[in-house]
Chain A
Amino acid sequence: MWKYSAVLLAALIGTNSAIAADTAPTDVKINEGEISSSLTGKAGDPASGREWYAGRKLGNCLACHQTTDLKELPFHGEVGPPMDGVADRYEVAELRAILVNSKEVLGDETIMPGFYTFKAGVRVADKFQNKTILQAQQVEDIIAYLKTLKE
């Protein structure tokens, strides 16, 4: 019995460990445009972040932001500013706040979605109800990637 639950627990930790330790979206507080501590308590991985950044079903950041570092991929959008040099423009804590809920930092009018918030539009499709666009660790990974984009 004991063995089984340990295995079960390990399995749970294996898939959901990040989620268990994450700050819940409703508990994240943006302070003067900043969130100082990691949403997961862990550092981000820039290589994974690069992947989430470009992934159409994930950040899809490339849909709106031209990014020279990803020039091997086609179709960079131009709805938002290019991300080249963003590491020099923003601190980690500021980037975290922008990603969590852009509206609170860039202004209510922005088209950029909030990636770790439940504040969404009306009529959210069932399968996205009470879900954030990105997981906490994915946000941290993307921040780590953005910090590599120096002039």
Chain B
Amino acid sequence: MAKSRNSIASILAAAGIVAAGVYGTASAGPDDNQLIVEGQSMVTEAAAPEGVEVEKIYSGWRFRSSETQSLQMDDFENPAMPLVDIGTDIWGTEDGAAGKSCQSCHNDASDSMKGIRAGYPKWSDKRGKPHTLETQINECRTDRMEAKAWKWESSEMLSMTALVGFQSRGMPVNVTTDGPMTKWHDMGKDLYFTRVGQLNMSCANCHEDNYGNMIRADHLSQGQINGFPTYRLKWGGVGSSHRRFKGCMENIRAVAYKRGSDEFIALELYLASRGQGLSVETPAVRN
């Protein structure tokens, strides 16, 4: 439906009937800008993974204004980079009864953590369910360092997921969805298409059917998660993908699931699978 409307809109626009398009806003579609960060070229569009009903997949970066885009192109301007530095400090700091730091076991993060984030969420036999980076890091803290678990959205956790994620920047998202992950993938897919809240919408209504369109002042993207944790101008800080899911659910007047809940882990896995092949952009900048 959305597609046929778009083409009508473009015919009208071409005929000069809808001259300026939308008052005070940009026009539809992802832009053609190239994301090059510190000389490294990022993949911001790719063929749609099997079963994903869009023509192509696009990073959320392609839908942001050029001002927001440029913040991510230069590490000195990227407001999330200080968190990566804090993560580096924590990496080397001993904590917990075992007297260990992350470094004690993993040495240099830039070697040991390379490519890790691109494959998360990832199955854990020990847990009997998928690990997100957060749960994996907390497992190392509680079981191996005998330290306290960090809260999901704490600055320590965000610094560490930013640091670990940063080591995959530029590498393609590549999650496994078969074997024991199948069930989780399917659960996430169900959630993605389930209408929630008083406004009675699913994630797909906005991010699959209407990406490229303006909804009020917002240019709808595909809701990809390749940039998380992400600095969001509206938050004035960095947040996890689960925080974003929660915000979107609350906007449609639904009770959100909890951060770290099975539902959000499943949704994270499914969304990651919809972004297979896009570059990890951690830490990204959005508005």
Q: Mark A112-147, 1 if CB is under 8 A from B, else 0.
A: 011000011111111010010100000000000000
In contact, B253 and A77 (Cβ under 8 angstroms):
no
B24 contacts across to A, CB distance below 8 A: 74-76
In contact, B210 and A124 (Cβ under 8 angstroms):
no
Cβ 8 A contact of A125, one of B18, B28, B198 = B198
In contact, A125 and B217 (Cβ under 8 angstroms):
no
In contact, A121 and B214 (Cβ under 8 angstroms):
no
A75 contacts across to B, CB distance below 8 A: 22-25, 214, 216-217
In contact, A122 and B195 (Cβ under 8 angstroms):
yes
In contact, A128 and B253 (Cβ under 8 angstroms):
yes
Tally inter-chain residue pairs, CB-CB below 8 A. Answer: 105
In contact, B210 and A121 (Cβ under 8 angstroms):
no
Asked if B254 CB lies within 8 Å of chain A CBs, one says: yes
Cβ 8 A contact of A124, one of B1, B206, B255 = B255
**Which among A8-16, A29-37, A38-46, A62-70 touches the partner chain?**
A62-70
Q: Mark B149-171, 1 if CB is under 8 A from A, else 0.
A: 00000000000000000000000
Q: Give the interface residue-count category, chain A.
A: 35 or more
Q: Which chain B residues (214-268) contact chain A, with CB distance < 8 Å? A: 214-217, 220, 249-250, 252-255
With A66-B23, A78-B22 in contact, do A124 and B214 touch (Cβ < 8 Å)?
Answer: no
Cβ 8 A contact of B255, one of A71, A73, A119, A123 = A123
Asked if B9 CB lies within 8 Å of chain A CBs, one says: yes
Cβ 8 A contact of B213, one of A71, A77, A114, A128 = A77
A111 contacts across to B, CB distance below 8 A: 201, 205-206, 209-210
Cβ 8 A contact of B22, one of A66, A81, A107, A114 = A66
With A74-B23, A79-B215, A81-B5 in contact, do A125 and B201 touch (Cβ < 8 Å)?
Answer: no
In contact, B194 and A122 (Cβ under 8 angstroms):
yes
Asked if B197 CB lies within 8 Å of chain A CBs, one says: yes
A79 contacts across to B, CB distance below 8 A: 2, 210, 213-215, 220
Asked if B47 CB lies within 8 Å of chain A CBs, one says: no
Q: Mark A51-87, 1 if CB is under 8 A from B, else 0.
A: 0000010001011101000010111111111100000
In contact, B215 and A113 (Cβ under 8 angstroms):
no
User: What does DSSP make chain B's interface, helix, strand, loop or mixed?
Assistant: loop
Q: Which chain B residues (1-41) contact chain A, with CB distance < 8 Å? A: 1-2, 5, 9, 18, 21-25, 28
Closest to B6 in A: A78
Q: Which chain B residues (181-203) contact chain A, with CB distance < 8 Å? A: 194-202
A120 contacts across to B, CB distance below 8 A: 197-200
Asked if A109 CB lies within 8 Å of chain B CBs, one says: yes
Cβ 8 A contact of A123, one of B5, B196, B215, B216 = B196
State in angstroms the CA–CA spacing of A63 and B209 once bound together: 16
In contact, B255 and A121 (Cβ under 8 angstroms):
no
- Closest Cβ–Cβ distance, residue A135 to chain B (whole Å): 14
State in angstroms the CA–CA spacing of A123 and B253 once bound together: 9
- Closest Cβ–Cβ distance, residue B134 to chain A (whole Å): 23
Cβ 8 A contact of B215, one of A63, A82, A121 = A63
In contact, B18 and A77 (Cβ under 8 angstroms):
no
State in angstroms the CA–CA spacing of A111 and B215 once bound together: 12
B195 contacts across to A, CB distance below 8 A: 121-122
Per CB-CB distance, the 4 closest pairs between chain A and chain B, nearest first, are: A74-B24, A121-B195, A128-B198, A121-B196
Q: What are 26 pairs between A and B in contact, CB < 8 Å?
A: A60-B216, A62-B216, A63-B215, A66-B22, A75-B22, A76-B24, A78-B9, A79-B213, A103-B200, A109-B1, A111-B201, A111-B209, A113-B198, A113-B199, A113-B200, A113-B201, A120-B197, A121-B197, A121-B201, A121-B202, A121-B254, A122-B195, A123-B196, A123-B197, A125-B250, A128-B197
Give residues in A with beta carbon < 8 Å to B.
56, 60, 62-64, 66, 71, 73-82, 103, 107, 109-111, 113-114, 119-126, 128, 131, 133
